[in-house]
Structure 1
Amino acid sequence: MELTQEYLDLVDSVRDFAQSAVAPVSAQHDRDKTFPYEVVAQMGEMGLFGLPFPEEFGGMGGDYFALALALEELGKVDQSVAITLEAGVSLGAMPIYRFGTREQQERWLPDLLSAKRLAGFGLTEPGAGSDAGATATTARADGDEFVINGAKQFITNSGTDITSLVTVTAVTGEKPGGGKEISTIVVPSDTPGFVAEPPYDKVGWHASDTHPLSFTDARVPQANLLGDRGRGYANFLSILDEGRIAIAGLATGVAQGCVDECIKYARERKSFGKAIAEYQSVSFAIARMESRAHVSRMAYYDAAAKMLAGKPFKKEASIAKMVSSEAAMDNARMATQIHGGYGFMNEYLVSRHYRDSKILEVGEGTTEVQLMLIARSLGLPA
């Protein structure tokens, strides 16, 4: 569980960047609900969007664990920035790297790995969330093109000025034995008939880009099929398994960030003549918060280690995602309590963590989905 010097150097670099470049502008972007283009550009220059990709496509030649470590540091100070990186890598570029043809990889990856462009991951629909098999979006073959009709919702990085594409799941036919044949198709953002609708008015993640998408007779070449026809749903599920490790890293950062903020505040804030850190109720509360962050970190370290070793990791990824997202929410709630009235003021980071953290228990598979997957791995009815 000890980090190599290479990992430690990465952590130090991202921590310095988070504190010096991200933290000073976070509150403003959150208040104005503006996308942090300047921060994304800097992360691109640092190579963060290319961390787990080979150098031949412009990547850094690192691994998924390196991405999770970077997300932990960013998550401490700004969840919107962290989720922009997480979605840009694991949901945007990774499907093209994992399942794309050489031509697709060479066409799309260089710009995605440098953050000159972003990509979205179009799975969720108005009637198909955790039940992704209920996909209603269709892609009808017409000559050498697909004609796409349908809608997606809650899609991250799908409507920015630098969004280049969204990879979507769509019904392309019927399986031989019955049931929907679901495939994945790359849809460039400038495709006629493809519209990123106005952004959502969200509870949190105000500086993250999230849109509903609509497709009305949107035509793309059949060469934009990503992976084997009919394997789209299975391929996206594997992408989600990996993504849960990344989300766990982000959520661990949130949990730890709440601890760090509370330690500083408890040492400075005085009540009845002494720092509130001297009261056992406060120090014990922070100790529990630290315990949650530690357990979350060990969980995602373990899941990442199994993944990188080529071992089954679905159960461990689900455990890490569930434990860390709950830790983030619990720590954000307690951090707000420790800060008292100040914790209810948006100028304090813990208030933003309180608003932002709830979605961590929902996105990339709800807590209930993680419990279902864990139960299934144990041979229990889910």
Structure 2
Amino acid sequence: MAREPDPYDLLGLDSLLDETERMMRDSVRRFVADRVLPDIGRWFEEAHFPVELAKELGSLGLLGMHLEGYGCAGTSATAYGLACQELEAGDSSVRSFASVQGSLVMYAIHRYGTEEQKQAWLPAMAAGEAIGCFGLTEADAGSDPAGMRTTARRDGDDWVLDGSKMWITNGGIADVAVVWAQTDEIGDPTGIRGFLVPTDASGFTANPIHQKLSLRASVTSELVLDGVRVPAGAQLPAAEGLAGPLRCLNEARLGIVFGAAGAARACYESALEYATTREQFGRQIGGFQLQQGKLVDMLQRVQRSQLVALHLGRRKDEGTLRPEQVSFGKLHNVNDALEVARTARQVLGGNGITLEYPVMRHANNLESLVTYEGTADVHTLVLGRAVTGLNAFA
């Protein structure tokens, strides 16, 4: 006897996961249901990130979970992606915290750091007892990080850093910042190096960015470095040139690919529940053709995004994932998630703009995902170069 179709997984994508992946995903989903969803509307409205979540995420093994050793869980990239999907179904702020902590800061230390640096930071960060931020973007150097103006100069055995970084997630709550700076002539990408900068260092300031309409439950800061002195051992020795930070960004973007699918799913599920319970003209609005068309469009976009994310996760685990494929996933999944959020908001009518429902909150957050860790325009040009062999950046 044929089973009834599952309106939340019409394609049966759950069958593509193994038992371990499903158990991990379900545990993260329960955590989000218990610890995030009851309060996220208030956190968003109050622009508050509950720092205590860091240790809770650490206790679940979600911080740097795809890294090996040093207290990290050593899971697959796909499992990491599924965790990001569930965290972002709660809110982008929670997924962003975990992504920056694990895929930017911890990954940078794990890949480019010394054994001493790894021992000093990774176990505490995996447990959520220490928090990190990643300082690459500047006010005048966003899509073109090679144009950064932050500098690091030698002074005896020390390095002295001067400059500023903008739009830095976790900046105001971090214990350590991975700061990328020019060590040679400004504009020469080969002179870029990474440094581990304790946030209590003299001359280091993290200024909160206020009046955000997106990622409100996330800590976003401007970092100012005014003659910050760090020892020679603060440099990440294996990172040379712009390839270092860009590789970190590519590592983190897989989490966004999965995360955007989670936000889209949350919006679709909210719209479906609303359409099958809300009555107008004496019947459920889900029984009207226009609303069914919206629901079907959302379902297709959600499941397509989940397929893209899962495929890229598998390729990452196989060691065959290419950077332009990550660009494809981020561009596709974030754009589709935005369309799902906008459509779901229409289904919910006036209720769609309130924090009682998740839709407008996700829509606002997704507006940040469109431009951070590579704008939609930049990823489009990456794909254009891949299919034509012609470089539109030059």
Indicate the TM-score class for this superposition, using the shorter chain for normalisation. Answer: over 0.9
CA distance in 1, matches of 2:111, 2:203: 27
- The aligned counterpart of 1:308 is 317
Is 1:185 aligned with 2:198? no
Residue by residue over 1:109-158, the C-alpha shift from the partner in whole angstroms, topping out at 9 and shown as x without a partner, is 01111111111111100110010110100000001111000010000011
- The aligned counterpart of 2:4 is none
CA distance in 2, matches of 1:58, 1:286: 43
| 1:154–1:212 CA contact under 8 A, matched in 2 | yes
Q: Unaligned 5+ residue runs, structure 2?
A: 1-12
Residue by residue over 1:166-201, the C-alpha shift from the partner in whole angstroms, topping out at 9 and shown as x without a partner, is 1111011149x9666111111111110010013332
CA distance in 2, matches of 1:115, 1:64: 20
The 3 A distance-change label for structure 1 pair 232 and 226 is farther
Report how far residue 299 of structure 1 moved. 1.5
Q: Secondary structure at the match of 2:139?
A: coil
* Amino-acid identity (%): 34
Residue by residue over 1:324-354, the C-alpha shift from the partner in whole angstroms, topping out at 9 and shown as x without a partner, is 1111111111111111011122322112112
The 3 A distance-change label for structure 1 pair 314 and 179 is closer
Question: Structure 1 counterpart of 2:158, which letter?
Answer: E
- The one of 335, 346, 349 equivalent to 2:358 is 349
Question: Structure 1 counterpart of 2:96, which letter?
Answer: I
Report how far residue 36 of structure 1 moved. 1.5
The 3 A distance-change label for structure 1 pair 67 and 200 is farther
Report how far residue 76 of structure 1 moved. 1.3
| 1:111–1:117 CA contact under 8 A, matched in 2 | yes
CA distance in 2, matches of 1:48, 1:337: 34
- The aligned counterpart of 2:228 is 218
Query: Which aligned pairs between 1:54-69 and structure 2 lie closer than 5 A?
Result: 54=68, 56-69=69-82
Is 1:170 aligned with 2:184? no
Q: Secondary structure at the match of 2:172?
A: coil
- The one of 66, 84, 100 equivalent to 1:71 is 84
| 2:190–2:242 CA contact under 8 A, matched in 1 | no
Query: Which aligned pairs between 1:217-366 and structure 2 lie closer than 5 A?
Result: 217-228=227-238, 231-366=240-375
Q: Secondary structure at the match of 2:201?
A: coil
Report how far residue 312 of structure 1 moved. 4.2
- The aligned counterpart of 2:165 is 152
Greater alpha carbon shift after TM alignment, 349-358 vs 299-308: 299-308
Report how far residue 322 of structure 1 moved. 0.5
| 1:169–1:232 CA contact under 8 A, matched in 2 | no
- The one of 125, 141, 145 equivalent to 1:112 is 125
CA distance in 2, matches of 1:42, 1:12: 16
Q: Give the number of equivalent residue pairs.
A: 377
- The one of 19, 38, 47 equivalent to 2:61 is 47
Greater alpha carbon shift after TM alignment, 348-357 vs 109-118: 348-357
Q: CA RMSD in A?
A: 1.6
- The one of 381, 384, 389 equivalent to 1:375 is 384
- The aligned counterpart of 1:32 is 46
- The one of 75, 80, 86 equivalent to 2:99 is 86
CA distance in 2, matches of 1:53, 1:179: 27
User: TM-score when scaled to structure 2?
Assistant: 0.92
Q: Secondary structure at the match of 1:44?
A: helix
The 3 A distance-change label for structure 1 pair 292 and 227 is farther
Q: Secondary structure at the match of 1:34?
A: coil
- The aligned counterpart of 2:205 is 195
- The aligned counterpart of 1:19 is 33
CA distance in 2, matches of 1:50, 1:357: 23
Residue by residue over 1:206-264, the C-alpha shift from the partner in whole angstroms, topping out at 9 and shown as x without a partner, is 111110010100000111111336x1411111111121111111101001111110111
User: TM-score when scaled to structure 1?
Assistant: 0.95
| 2:189–2:242 CA contact under 8 A, matched in 1 | no
The 3 A distance-change label for structure 1 pair 232 and 224 is farther
| 2:345–2:352 CA contact under 8 A, matched in 1 | yes
Q: Unaligned 5+ residue runs, structure 1?
A: none
The 3 A distance-change label for structure 1 pair 183 and 50 is closer
Q: Secondary structure at the match of 1:48?
A: coil
Q: Secondary structure at the match of 1:381?
A: coil
